[in-house]
Structure 1
Amino acid sequence: MASTDLTNMKEDQSRDGQETTSKVNKVSHDYNNLILSLPRENGCETQYMYFFHGFWCPSTLIQSVNSFQNNFHAKDSDIVVASIPKSGTTWLKGLAYAIVNRQHFTSLENNHPLLLFNPHELVPQFEVNLYGDKDGPLPQIDVSNMTEPRLFGTHMPFPSLPKSVKESNCKIIYICRNPFDTFVSYWIFINKIRLRKSLTELTLEESFERYCKGICLFGPFWDNMLGYLKESIERPDRVLFLKYEDLKEDVNFHTKRIAEFVGIPFTQEEENNGVIENIIKLCSFESMKEIEGNQSGTISGDIEKEFYFRKGEIGDWANYLSSSMVEKLSKVMEEKLNGSSLSFKVCA
């Protein structure tokens, strides 16, 4: 090769390298400017949380949320499990996975994935597992090759979901929980993560004040719930709205309801053969907590699987909140949920 050709090649490579570096620097510059422009509050599992696209989240999720919103292409057959954190997400993901895949795993013995993996591993979260911790618009999982119906999870409010999700005919199953129990579960969960990161624990009082102001992961909690409630009323064929307390009270009824909603109702033969009861048992809090796969290892790199299984009880908040706290959060709920059909028990 002539020396002139070699010189030209080196110059081209140099220009390409400079252009790549320039693009990376621009992305970093734009991202930093975006972060600086957002409302900021003291964080929970991270130092700060930012108000982005209508909800609070750490800076580490902003890029992945952007990628998800701009690049995900929903299919009409997709099924999305949505919730505010600590509202029964793990349970609902397990139920949804078992219901949708029951034809592939007719036996609930040792070969069932839920006996080997945490539900969050089987139903990936858009903003964490698919687009999190990765530069660029491509998801970490090849969603195009996922078996249909594809199952996903999200904590994002309905108005913040990508247009492709909101405008498709995919099914969304949303679960909410009494904000009293949600707060206590959230506070304990966050402190476990903070301790693992060698961070100082958050006091109950400071966390509670933030929560009442709506400053919590993917909150305000009332906006998160009301957005999906509104859509479930306007399009009941697209959004199924569940309450954790109702699911606990009659899990058999709501398991059948979920199956019908996603278009895979249980047959009479399945009911007679105890398929519904087997799924309920497999996905119960007690069963999932005892599974070896949930007693060790992490999810998303830094969250211990065992953190997802504490008590699963209704009303445990009464062991933590003072009467003045109960009064304050009750007033917040009365104000924010006023005019909706959504209500929760607020007495111990």
Structure 2
Amino acid sequence: MERVEKVDDLGNSIVFKRWRGRTFDRDTRGNVGDQLKMIESFRCRPDDVLLCTFPRSGTHWVYNMARMIQTKNLQYSGTPEMMEFQDMKIIDEMKSPRMFHTHLSYPFIPEEAKKGQLKIIYVLRNPKDAACSYYTFLSKVENTSYSGNMDGYLNAFLSEEFIGSGGSWFTHTKEWNNAMTTSQHLKILFLKYEDLKKNLYQNILRIATFLEVDHEESFLKKVEQAVGFDNLKKEHTTTAGESELWRHLGDNGRMPIYKKGVIGEWKNMLTVAQNERFDKVYKDKMSDLAGNIDLVYE
């Protein structure tokens, strides 16, 4: 494992870990390799749910709505336990029904998950909004992994030298897409952030059906209200939003999760030149998946 700190000519700085040619978040536990081995061999339970997202793709939003459905409880659950960052013993000892999360790209999830031993919820957000939201997030936390302007950040995001969980947004998305297309064993629900914004209740119903949880419409409507952006943002300001694991990022571990929660914020953050550069890289890297991924940008 190599800890990498890159500084460009304008002083923009990015820090990440590199393991076997792959990039990982600086806060991935230990030397990365040992943590990935423990994740690979993690023993799953039939009622487990693994939430998988690239950073800033609706993680906390979907986690809380799915957790409410799973537990039949409208209580705010805060931040999920994340496999690459947490002591795996803590996740192993969680009471059933468990729900935990990872930003990891598909090759690094538990082997039993790949064999269908648990249910997976995978959420995809358009990369421009994900990138811009992540930039804002990194600018608000202490001990940030990126310090600098948007242009330097975009250079990193569009490359493979980014604060990833096994790869860039492009690698992450292609590997998950390939897994969903080719694997016959995955028990997976594919959600799009933009679809959730467009029709939240129908997707809450999809989650309940996927989790095989019997809920009346009246309860699911309450879930819809409970996970409204303003409600979650308010709940996050309470002690329920705090996390000891993330205390080094500031505010007692309460991460700046809830920004605006809208589609198309990238139009207010990217210049015309930056957007054109983004489109070119996307076309170069993702053209072979154009028919499989229908993204909404506004």
TM-score for both structures, normalised by structure 2: 0.84
Q: In structure 2, the residue corresponding to 1:280 is in which secondary structure?
A: helix
Change over 3 Å in CA distance of 1:150–1:53 after alignment to 2 = farther
Task: Tell me, in whole angstroms, the C-alpha distance in 2 between the residues paired with 1:143 and 1:211.
Answer: 33
Aligned-residue sequence identity (percent) comes to 23
**C-alpha deviation, 1:284, in angstroms:** 1.8
The answer for the alignment partner of 1:148 in structure 2 is 96
**Does the alignment pair 1:316 with 2:286?**
no
**Does the alignment pair 1:206 with 2:152?**
yes
126, 129, 134: which one aligns with 1:181: 129
Q: In structure 1, the residue corresponding to 2:295 is in which secondary structure?
A: coil
Post-superposition Cα deviations, 1:184-239, rounded to whole Å, max 9, x if no partner, equal: 1101111112xx23898421110011111132322310111222222223348612
The answer for the alignment partner of 1:160 in structure 2 is 108
**Does the alignment pair 1:232 with 2:177?**
no
- Counterpart residue identity of residue 343, structure 1: D
Task: Tell me, in whole angstroms, the C-alpha distance in 2 between the residues paired with 1:65 and 1:246.
Answer: 34
Judge conservation of contact 2:50–2:102 (CA < 8 Å) in 1. yes
Q: In structure 2, the residue corresponding to 1:174 is in which secondary structure?
A: strand
Judge conservation of contact 1:294–1:306 (CA < 8 Å) in 2. no
Q: RMSD in angstroms over aligned alpha carbons?
A: 2.7
**Does the alignment pair 1:81 with 2:54?**
no
**C-alpha deviation, 1:165, in angstroms:** 2.9
Task: Tell me, in whole angstroms, the C-alpha distance in 2 between the residues paired with 1:172 and 1:64.
Answer: 26
243, 252, 261: which one aligns with 2:210: 261
- Counterpart residue identity of residue 247, structure 1: L
Q: How does 1:52-131 map to 2 (within 5 A)?
A: 52=19, 55-63=22-30, 65-71=32-38, 72-102=42-72, 105=73, 108=74, 112=75, 114=76, 117-118=77-78, 120=79, 123-131=80-88
224, 231, 238: which one aligns with 1:293: 238
Count of residue correspondences: 281
**Does the alignment pair 1:344 with 2:291?**
no
TM-score for both structures, normalised by structure 1: 0.73
Change over 3 Å in CA distance of 1:67–1:289 after alignment to 2 = same
Q: In structure 1, the residue corresponding to 2:130 is in which secondary structure?
A: helix
Task: Tell me, in whole angstroms, the C-alpha distance in 1 between the residues paired with 2:284 and 2:231.
Answer: 38
- Counterpart residue identity of residue 19, structure 2: F
**C-alpha deviation, 1:311, in angstroms:** 0.7
Task: Tell me, in whole angstroms, the C-alpha distance in 1 between the residues paired with 2:277 and 2:240.
Answer: 37
**Does the alignment pair 1:281 with 2:238?**
no
- Counterpart residue identity of residue 131, structure 2: F
Judge conservation of contact 1:124–1:130 (CA < 8 Å) in 2. no
**C-alpha deviation, 1:309, in angstroms:** 0.9
The answer for the alignment partner of 1:197 in structure 2 is 143
Change over 3 Å in CA distance of 1:200–1:228 after alignment to 2 = closer
Change over 3 Å in CA distance of 1:343–1:324 after alignment to 2 = farther
Could you tell me which runs of 5 or more consecutive residues in structure 2 were left unpaired when the two chains were aligned: none
Structure exhibiting the larger radius of gyration computed from Cα positions = 1
Q: In structure 1, the residue corresponding to 2:84 is in which secondary structure?
A: helix
**C-alpha deviation, 1:259, in angstroms:** 1.3
Task: Tell me, in whole angstroms, the C-alpha distance in 1 between the residues paired with 2:58 and 2:26.
Answer: 25
Q: How does 1:32-47 map to 2 (within 5 A)?
A: 34-35=1-2, 40=4, 42=6
Judge conservation of contact 1:222–1:336 (CA < 8 Å) in 2. yes
Could you tell me which runs of 5 or more consecutive residues in structure 1 were left unpaired when the two chains were aligned: 1-33, 132-138
**C-alpha deviation, 1:90, in angstroms:** 0.7
Q: In structure 2, the residue corresponding to 1:183 is in which secondary structure?
A: helix
Judge conservation of contact 2:121–2:189 (CA < 8 Å) in 1. yes
Task: Tell me, in whole angstroms, the C-alpha distance in 2 between the residues paired with 1:169 and 1:157.
Answer: 18
Change over 3 Å in CA distance of 1:199–1:213 after alignment to 2 = closer
Structure with the larger helix share: 1
